[in-house]
Amino acid sequence: MLINVSKWKYLPLLVFALAWALYLANSGGVNIYILDEAKNAECAREMFERSDLIVPTFNQVLRTDKPPLHYFFMMLSYSVYGVNPFAARFFSALFGALTVLTTFLFARKYAGSKTALLTAMVLLASVHLSIQFHLAVPDPYLVFFMTAAIFSFYLFLKEEKALYGWTLYAALGFGTLAKGPVAIALPGLIFLLYLIFSKQFKWAIIGKLHPFAGALLVLAIALPWFLWVHIKTNGAWTEGFFLKHNLGRFTEEMEGHGGTFMATILFVLVGLFPFSVYMPQAIVKAFKKRHNEFVLFNLIVGLTIIGFFMLSKTRLPNYTVPALPYLAVLTALFLNEKLLEQKALRTGLWVAAGISLILVPALLIALQTDPALYEVKNVGWYFLLFPILMLAAVVFLYQQKTETALSLMLAGGISVALVFFGMAFPKIDSQNPVAKSIHLLEGKEVRYFQKFNASYSFNLKREIKEIEAEEMAAFFDEYPDGVIISTKKKISAIDLPETAEVSFSAQDTFESPVTVLITRKK
């Protein structure tokens, strides 16, 4: 089956179409609620409303978290589809699909059609990638441009075509506009290590890469916006982005996202599940075959990215996503070699099946013990198809139908993603406090006290001004139907005016704050 399909001339188009459909699945059917999504989508909306390509703001306050590339694409999407969740996520799905396609084509060029197909299967089965490429965040853009740059580097070394060299530097430039200096520093470290370990660190080879001309292209793409925003914000954006959100995130734990360095390895294993059960064997096998330049290249890239973020004090699951295409290639190389050795694949598949059997009861318990999600406690049952498919994969493997078993693993991963975005998450999303209360704020004067859920800004599509405690009584006198958003913790520290009351309270989904709405007493 794999042998026949892998040689189909329209397979790249099929891989791209399947990936894009998967990453777009119900992307407009779930609210913009998660903190990062809400701030990114609203920032792009405000820039779109002002026709401003330079100064990013959230709730009309300067936002220094990220460079603008994802804002630009969201603004373009807003102009076509309107300001809504689908538009905010549209290009994330597209760049996710392009990443899968690019990895497929790269693997096919240097490892053959069957390994390329297996690589695509490993990536498409990843629920983590499906989630990542469903989000209105800059990471899908960074992952694509970093992948394009790194692949172009290898292509140039092998073929010395000018096109690959310029693609390398153009991708680094756009990657810098996506997420900043990490798009240069990390690939640069990878290039250096590969040249050293492949014994190609020679001035003649470095000269062929035209690093000075390349640097000029990177600067031509990225520098104008960085200079312009520096000037327009009197250096405030530059200071906030480079010192806090780059140096600060690497040297200090931020926003509670820390943990041991082992968390980074866990993120990678979860990131490519279910096929990650073969990743340890694949890496060991790759190390033994490091004399092969293609294997060595993917090994160095994957491990360098993992090692880089193991050193970071701030650790998040999305940080290691750029490593997944290369780890998928190594996993595919291992699987391709072991297709006729069923025994070598049994342990990994049993591990994956065992985890799948735990998934449903774990979800049922987690949902029942979370007060904010108790009303959707039965959502865990939606994922019952996953363990069924994984157990079927075990049966087929023992019948020496390895390709069918791997196909069922792919189907299992895709089923989880489709069930999650099409059925489970919409129900979970309906329980978030913004979805429950947004109708109470529409058409009314709204303020916030000290802290508020960022999703309110995007859903209301307007600025929410801050209010002080001593101003609340006057606010309700002027706007009897007005609403003040805050959190239970912030409100408990003050005395509300006698004319005001908490009229709505709900636990934030997946977060610790309790959102409250304060209105005039009836």
Total-model pTM: 0.94
Instruction: Please name every residue paired with 501 in a beta bridge, in sequence order, or none if there are none.
Output: 519
Residues 90 and 129 occupy one common structural domain: yes
- The single residue listed with the structure tokens 């000018």 is 162
Domain boundary among 430, 456, 471: 430
Q: How many domains does the chain have?
A: 3
Distance (Å, whole) CA 514 – CA 487: 5
Residues 241 and 217 occupy one common structural domain: yes
Q: Is the pLDDT of residue 259 over 60?
A: no
Q: Print the domain residue range for 509.
A: 434-520
- Burial class of residue 12 (count of CB atoms within 10 Å of its CB; 0-12, 13-18, 19+): middle
- Ranking 370-379, 445-454, 482-491 by mean pLDDT, the lowest is 370-379
Q: What pLDDT does 511 receive?
A: 81
Residues 40 and 150 occupy one common structural domain: yes
Contact by Cβ (8 Å): 332, 281: no
Contact by Cβ (8 Å): 274, 356: yes
Q: What pLDDT does 59 receive?
A: 97
Residues 324 and 362 occupy one common structural domain: no
- CB-based contacts of 389, cutoff 8 Å, min separation 6: 408, 409, 411, 412, 415
Residues 328 and 384 occupy one common structural domain: no
Residues 314 and 347 occupy one common structural domain: no
Mean pLDDT, residues 500-505:
95
**CA-to-CA dists, residue 198 to 201, 294, 325, 330, 479, angstroms:** 8, 10, 20, 17, 70
Comparing 395 with 366, the larger pLDDT belongs to: 395
Q: How confident is the model at residue 282 (pLDDT cuts 50, 70, 90)?
A: very high
Domain boundary among 405, 430, 455: 430
Domain boundary among 430, 457, 483: 430
pLDDT digits (tens, 9 = 90+) for 137-171: 999 999 999 999 999 999 999 999 999 999 999 99
Residues 469 and 413 occupy one common structural domain: no
Q: Is the pLDDT of residue 281 over 70?
A: yes
Q: Is the pLDDT of residue 5 over 80?
A: no
Q: How confident is the model at residue 256 (pLDDT cuts 50, 70, 90)?
A: very low
3-state secondary structure of 223: helix
Q: What pLDDT does 7 receive?
A: 72
Q: Is the pLDDT of residue 253 over 70?
A: no
* Mean per-residue pLDDT over the chain, rounded: 93
Residues 325 and 379 occupy one common structural domain: no
- The single residue listed with the structure tokens 């009584």 is 473
For residue 270, count other CB atoms closer than 10 A to its CB: 14
Q: Is the pLDDT of residue 262 over 80?
A: no
Residues 425 and 472 occupy one common structural domain: no
Residues 421 and 275 occupy one common structural domain: no
Q: Is the pLDDT of residue 449 over 60?
A: yes
Q: Is the pLDDT of residue 423 over 80?
A: yes
Percent of the chain with pLDDT over 90: 85
pLDDT digits (tens, 9 = 90+) for 302-346: 999 999 888 876 667 888 999 999 999 999 999 999 987 888 899
Q: What pLDDT does 398 receive?
A: 94
Q: What pLDDT does 339 receive?
A: 86
Q: What pLDDT does 3 receive?
A: 55
Contact by Cβ (8 Å): 502, 491: yes
- Burial class of residue 235 (count of CB atoms within 10 Å of its CB; 0-12, 13-18, 19+): exposed
Mean pLDDT, residues 78-87:
98
Q: What pLDDT does 377 receive?
A: 85
Residues 301 and 348 occupy one common structural domain: no
Q: What pLDDT does 62 receive?
A: 97
Residues 98 and 210 occupy one common structural domain: yes
